[in-house]
Structure 1
Amino acid sequence: MAVDQQRGRIGVIISGSLTEGLSARVDAAHPIESLRVGQFLLVEGRQHEFFAMLTDVELGATSPAVLVDPPADDAFLQDVFAGTATYATIALRPSLMLPRDHSDEMRPVKTIPAHFAPVYTADEKDFTRVFGREDDTHFEIGRPLDMDVPVCIDLARFVERSNGVFGKSGTGKSFLTRLLLSGTMRSGIATNLIFDMHSEYGSDATSEGGGFVKGLRKIFGPSVRIYTLDPESTRRRGGQYDHDIRIGLNEIDVEDILLISDELNLTATAAESAYRLVDHYKNDWLRTLLDMTPEALDAFALNTGTHAGSLGALKRKLEALRRRGYVEDTAKASVINTLIDALMARQHVVLEFGKFDHSIDYMLVANIITRKIHQRWRERTEAYLTSKNPADKPPQLVITIEEAHKFLNPQAAKQTIFGTIAREMRKYSVTLLVVDQRPSSIDSDVMSQLGSRITALLNDEKDIDAVFTGVSGSSALRTVLATLDSRQQCLILGHAVPMPVVVRTRPYDEAFYAAMAVHVPAVAGNRPPDALPVAPTIDDLFGD
């Protein structure tokens, strides 16, 4: 079956290879300026149709003599030369082979079409065939640059692996993240924990245009729980919260301290001194250290062989933690366990940091909570593997972290719980959504484990190289990424989409709120009962 001729032919294939892509000569009648990098095209082979992305446009001439004296002011000669002495070519990167029989599955590209295969613009039917329609597991993330047809990501495949949202400052990473979180919440396909460093996800927040956008709590109602380190900040912004976080010194491990060693300016001997304290005082090591008198420090150093100066320096630097407004000597009833219970009950949790938006606070609190989640999810998964009872299987959990390079730089990734999750926790139903403007600072092993990458404009060559770690054919995609606008455009590639795609991102506006179609009940008071309500089902949220 031939391609519908009404869609408009662009040109024909004249050269190419499987590894380097294809080159097509543009028909003389086709306006060159209508062709854009990132545009999607369809090549009609004899046995397959090839779905491809336009990656470059180039002008050529049959003879250099034509260009010696160009007819710059002679429109008649320009028309005469067009398509004969002068022409344009385009570079294409085929990503999928579409069988003639639409009931057959799409296949990765293993061959190329013959010379003179016609090239057409892709239409709405092609996009629907490739990217699917929006449904329970497919979510519209945006639309192609030159068409008004939805491009959907497969949420089931998205939450299976850790993913990344990248882009330089001001390119809309937070809005992209809101879209992705909304998709997973609406579908019910995963539970979300968002470490909201700048308090812009749970409650209403300002947009870059100066207005306000709704927070996830207002869109999805009580299925989104808000925890906060700074209740006053949440109240001042007119937000509601469910619990305020308090962390006991007895909940802080040496691993948590090592993660913020640079921020605290700890020496190389700090870890050794801290582990000596743990050996003697177990979970009470930090409180005991901070309560030690100079005499007690000297006695401990003498009895254990610890360097007294190193122990004293560790005490002085860790005293800053006791002064954090959310830290207590002893956690009586851990709010962290309540938070984890909410996640296990399939409720979404946004943790706001308020005035505690320093790297020390963000990294310390996120690591403590995630470490405990790792332990609980691992235990539940092992119980499920033993019992084979579906009720024992923990829910799929996506943990969103901003400034991800602080947790996943080459040094930290090897020793923190976030590095462990990025590498191993998929089998325990926990994945990460990392948000960062400097992907080059993230460990390369972690980057290679990311299933999907949603990337807005980047300028730094190292960051661009990092985004394409482990991606074949990245040279052509680099050109596409470099041509993105600074706002509301992104390149999506990886596990959640069948092929790389450039989109205008879906607006996060009143139409989007309505599309989520969730009734938002009134939230009474800031302190709900301690007993967690039963998480609503999809039918409860969205109706029949």
Structure 2
Amino acid sequence: FMAEVLAGTSTYGTLHVLPMLTIGGDVASLLEGPQPVKTVPSHFSAVNLASQRDVELVFGGEDERKFYIGTPLDMETKICLDLAELVKRSNGIFGKSGTGKTFLTRLLLIGMLQKGTAANLVFDMHSEYGWEGRSEEGRKVKALKQLFPSQVAVFTLDEESSRRRRVSTDFVVRIGYDEIEPEDIGLLRQTLNLTEASVQAVYQLYREFGNKRWIEATLELEDRDETRQLLTKLNIHDSTYRNLRRGLETIRRLPFLLPHAPDNPVRHILEYLDQGINVVLEFGRYTDITAYILVANLLTRRIHAQYRERMEKALGEDMAPPRPLVITIEEAHKFLNPEVASQTIFGTIAREMRKYNVTLLVIDQRPSGIDDEVMSQIGTKITCLLDNERDIDSVLAGVSGKSELKSVLSRLESRQQALIFGHAVPMPVVIRTREYGSAESYKDFISRPETEIRKQAEKDIEELWE
């Protein structure tokens, strides 16, 4: 028989096995859960297709801390993320344009709202996460405020845009020139085409005019002799001053900026976050990257300072720490590129992990533009299709089994598929994301397991009798 097979035409298949986890058969091993594999299976080990029970044994079932995000490509079994583990570190959602990053971000935010694992502050560049968004096919879909009206507050920089879209907002954000500090201008160096000398001149003018009026005072310089005397005194070259002035004029044209804001947006954001209410800040028409970077950096720096103060106080006085906060930013490489990552508050937060209970959710189509050190601190990565070699290498840097995962990543479909790996899952897995946009999906999002409802009721009763 063998001679006939060898003499004729034969067909065979090759099975590539990549051991990732091992689960022992004894009670202690089952309680311990899946462990990283340290050896290969013995010869003639039985190979079976994973059952639903096998998948649940590895990824767990949906409960008060685990959120169903999708299914394996060839199964209907639920793949769940451990959200309690997710919020302990900064995380990233990556993929080329049109692959569903916004869709995945909505899912993650819904999971955190549903399970109550963290408060969220979302800098919503394209007004997709507050009241209403769009699916990849262009259909209108409900966003966070419609699904969780009592748990989400919508802030806006553009009241007119919100009114036209019939979005009810909770607060209109205005920012004063007197709130802008040199660090905010430094981060805008690329978008405003500022020279390094211009950035240094900002600090000199800030010291000269004081922290409350330095922008106004700089732009009010009209008299040539007065200007020349000041530049000579501060040793600022005339071309440097003109370059800086052009940049400051660009900022001053932003309609949401005023000489002095009537109300403090940071205080209002913190008030909502302290109540467990998530905040989505819509930018409306102001989708220019200059406006986005300025506002996100300015507000985040002050909020982080408050969390740092609260965390230190909690440690010193043996009090409860502040609730974990996840800050979502889009176009993350603008904040975290190698030139500025070491100087920005976002780079600081990424490197601190959860030291002050603040972490990031970064969304980007160009992960190679993000500083390597920051990428190494991202705990869980959810990656849609990428076709740029540098982007793929950046996402997979330092990951065990990089070459195999690279092959997996290159075969993803352009929509509704993603590779997840990192701290929130026990092993890398490719998923087809769960359905979003139908009445049935909305019902699934807002209905909570009975155990969660009972726990919330008990908590409400305790608070009532305190």
TM-score by length of 2: 0.92
Partner of residue 195 from structure 2, selected from 243, 267, 284: 267
Partner of residue 493 from structure 1, selected from 402, 421, 445: 421
Change (3 A) 1:93 1:541: farther
Q: Distance in 2 between matches of 1:221 and 1:542?
A: 20
1:350 maps to what in 2?
A: 280
Change (3 A) 1:542 1:240: farther
Change (3 A) 1:210 1:311: closer
Q: 2:382 touches 2:419 (CA, 8 Å); kept in 1?
A: yes
Q: What is the count of residue pairs matched by the alignment? A: 450
Change (3 A) 1:64 1:450: farther
Partner of residue 289 from structure 1, selected from 218, 221, 234: 218
- The answer to whether structure 1 residue 459 and structure 2 residue 387 are counterparts is yes
- The answer to whether structure 1 residue 360 and structure 2 residue 290 are counterparts is yes
Change (3 A) 1:138 1:233: same
1:164 maps to what in 2?
A: 92
1:358 Cα deviation (Å)?
0.5
Map 1:30-429 to 2 at 5 A. 70=9, 81=10, 86-101=11-26, 102-283=30-211, 284-295=213-224, 296-390=226-320, 393-429=321-357
1:537 Cα deviation (Å)?
12
Q: Distance in 2 between matches of 1:275 and 1:462?
A: 36
- More strand by percentage: 1
Which one-letter code corresponds to 1:250 in the other structure? D
Q: 1:456 touches 1:486 (CA, 8 Å); kept in 2?
A: yes
2:436 maps to what in 1?
A: 508
1:65 Cα deviation (Å)?
7.3
* Higher alpha-carbon Rg: 1
Q: 1:219 touches 1:518 (CA, 8 Å); kept in 2?
A: no
Q: 2:33 touches 2:58 (CA, 8 Å); kept in 1?
A: no
Deviation sequence 1:365-418 (CA, Å, 0-9, x none): 00001111111111001101100111xx21100011111111111112111111
Which one-letter code corresponds to 1:311 in the other structure? Y
Q: 2:60 touches 2:66 (CA, 8 Å); kept in 1?
A: yes
1:94 Cα deviation (Å)?
1.2
1:516 Cα deviation (Å)?
2.3
Gap regions ≥5 residues in structure 2: 462-466
Which one-letter code corresponds to 1:93 in the other structure? L
CA RMSD of aligned residues (A): 2.3
Q: Distance in 1 between matches of 2:395 and 2:44?
A: 35
Instruction: Report the 3-state secondary structure (helix = DSSP H, G, I; strand = E; otherwise coil) of the residue aligned with 2:375.
Output: helix
Which one-letter code corresponds to 1:379 in the other structure? E
Give identity over the alignment, percent: 48
Structure number with greater CO (CA < 8 Å, separation at least 6) is 2
1:421 Cα deviation (Å)?
0.7
Q: Distance in 2 between matches of 1:121 and 1:165?
A: 29
Q: Distance in 2 between matches of 1:450 and 1:313?
A: 36
Q: Distance in 2 between matches of 1:308 and 1:263?
A: 21
Deviation sequence 1:217-254 (CA, Å, 0-9, x none): 00010321111111111111121111111110011111
Q: Distance in 1 between matches of 2:22 and 2:3?
A: 32
1:426 Cα deviation (Å)?
1.4
Change (3 A) 1:332 1:91: same
TM-score by length of 1: 0.79
Q: Distance in 2 between matches of 1:537 and 1:315?
A: 60
Instruction: Report the 3-state secondary structure (helix = DSSP H, G, I; strand = E; otherwise coil) of the residue aligned with 2:354.
Output: helix
After the TM superposition, which of the residue ranges 364-373 and 308-317 deviates more from structure 2?
Answer: 308-317
2:464 maps to what in 1?
A: none
Q: Distance in 2 between matches of 1:63 and 1:508?
A: 55
1:542 Cα deviation (Å)?
12
Change (3 A) 1:341 1:415: same
1:539 maps to what in 2?
A: 456
Q: Distance in 1 between matches of 2:264 and 2:3?
A: 76
Q: Distance in 2 between matches of 1:413 and 1:184?
A: 27
Instruction: Report the 3-state secondary structure (helix = DSSP H, G, I; strand = E; otherwise coil) of the residue aligned with 1:346.
Output: coil
Q: 1:249 touches 1:327 (CA, 8 Å); kept in 2?
A: yes
Deviation sequence 1:412-437 (CA, Å, 0-9, x none): 21111111111115110011101111
Change (3 A) 1:479 1:541: farther
Change (3 A) 1:507 1:63: farther
1:87 Cα deviation (Å)?
1.9
Q: Distance in 2 between matches of 1:163 and 1:128?
A: 23
1:341 Cα deviation (Å)?
2.5
Q: 1:132 touches 1:138 (CA, 8 Å); kept in 2?
A: yes
Deviation sequence 1:152-185 (CA, Å, 0-9, x none): 0100000000000011111111010000000001
Gap regions ≥5 residues in structure 1: 1-60, 71-80, 520-535
Q: 2:174 touches 2:263 (CA, 8 Å); kept in 1?
A: no
Instruction: Report the 3-state secondary structure (helix = DSSP H, G, I; strand = E; otherwise coil) of the residue aligned with 1:272.
Output: helix
Q: Distance in 2 between matches of 1:213 and 1:378?
A: 36
Q: 2:336 touches 2:346 (CA, 8 Å); kept in 1?
A: yes
Deviation sequence 1:266-314 (CA, Å, 0-9, x none): 1121122111111122322112111222343223223333334422331
